[in-house]
Amino acid sequence: MKVLVTGGAGFIGSFLVERLVGLGHQVVVIDYLTRGSRENLSRIVDSIDLIEADVSEDKVVDIALEGCHIAYHLAGMSQVMTSVRQPDLCFKYNMVGTYKVAKACVAKQVKLVFTSSREVYGNIERLPATEDDKLMAVNPYGASKIAGESIIRAYANTYDLDFVILRLANVVGPKDFGRVIPILLKQCLVNGPLTLFGGHQILDFVGVLDVIEALIQTQDTSGVTVNIGSGVGVNIVDLANLLKRLTGSRSEIVFADRRQEEVERFTTDISLAQKLLGWKPKTSLEDTIKWVIKSGITS
């Protein structure tokens, strides 16, 4: 198969591209290299077609999609706090970009797999979150993902777009940077302070290789929106202590004010993923963190 991966030079995208190449697929990547890099693809860069371009610009996706059977759309602004600082860019990349991808997929009759986020739920009261819960995003990033999902479902209803949407929880693995685990790990390694905002957060972490399996397993399913996570809630203080233990760090935990833009508590219900995709996570958080430490911290 010929496969398009937007955002394929990023953290999750580069693991997906490696896996697809390993399965023998021909892979085209569109990446603007805002957060992603060629280095992330260094092991397979000669086997793929890498287009350095912005998916929200006209014609970019249409040209890249030529001859493709499936498009994985991962490109976009991927961090909450960046979206708070740059909401215009967030909506351009995530909303307009997703609209351009959906439109091109309809025109070329290509299946679209979209990585949405647990941020669409915001601070819902009853956990774990199921796919039928209300979407109550509390930051521009979450709102842009709700918009992206809505565009895709509207295109499916109106123009017969074949799609799968995965709502990812917090993804963990090597090559990531600027998110809670790589930031805290970096501090652990220099015995620096571990700053926790609020200190009461509950997060749901899933290993990147488990996410890649879920993305691959979407190929036999259509027209569904599915949560992908571990289903396990991890308290942020317990996480900090786990990171200290695994690195042998003498770091101290310090508390700062809670950030209003961030979701306070989240765990995901993964029963639909088990039922529709035959998927469940195989790796524990502790093993994934050990792998990250062994691979070297990039942040």
Ligand X SMILES: NC(=O)c1ccc[n+]([C@@H]2O[C@H](COP(=O)([O-])OP(=O)(O)OC[C@H]3O[C@@H](n4cnc5c(N)ncnc54)[C@H](O)[C@@H]3O)[C@@H](O)[C@H]2O)c1
Task: For the CB of residue 243, give the shortest distance to ligand X in the complex, in Å.
Answer: 17
Task: Rule CB under 6 A: say whether 148 interacts with ligand X.
Answer: no
Task: Rule CB under 6 A: say whether 143 interacts with ligand X.
Answer: no
Q: At what angle do helices 180-189 and 285-295 cross, to 10 degrees?
A: 60
Task: Rule CB under 6 A: say whether 7 interacts with ligand X.
Answer: yes
* DSSP per position, 259-292: PTTS-SB--B--HHHHHHH-----S-HHHHHHHH
Closer Cβ to ligand X, 9 or 27, answer by number = 9
How many whole angstroms separate alpha carbon 55 and alpha carbon 113?
Answer: 15
First to last CA, the chain: 35
Name the segment binding ligand X (CB under 6 A); options: 50-58, 131-139, 241-249, 268-276: 50-58
Residue 35 phi/psi, 5-degree rounding, is -115, -25
Task: For the CB of residue 24, give the shortest distance to ligand X in the complex, in Å.
Answer: 23
Number of residues that bind ligand X (CB under 6 A): 28
The residue annotated as part of the active site, out of 32, 72, 141, 155, is 141
How many whole angstroms separate alpha carbon 231 and alpha carbon 202?
Answer: 11
Residue from 48, 75, 215, 277 touching ligand X (CB under 6 A): that is 75
Closer Cβ to ligand X, 84 or 191, answer by number = 84
How many whole angstroms separate alpha carbon 182 and alpha carbon 202?
Answer: 17
Task: Rule CB under 6 A: say whether 115 interacts with ligand X.
Answer: yes
Task: Rule CB under 6 A: say whether 13 interacts with ligand X.
Answer: yes
Task: Rule CB under 6 A: say whether 226 interacts with ligand X.
Answer: no
Active site residue 141: yes
Residue in the block written with tokens 């992603």: 36
Let me know: does 219 contact 213? Beta carbons within 8 Å.
no
Closer Cβ to ligand X, 96 or 110, answer by number = 96
Non-local (6+) Cβ contacts of 197 within 8 A are 255, 256, 257, 258, 259, 262
Residue from 30, 146, 215, 297 touching ligand X (CB under 6 A): that is 30
Q: Within positions 164 to 193, which residues make up the interface with ligand X, using CB under 6 A?
A: 168, 170-171
- Footprint of ligand X on this chain (CB under 6 A)? 6-7, 9-13, 30-36, 54-56, 74-76, 78, 93, 97, 115, 117, 168, 170-171
Q: Give catalytic residue positions.
A: 141
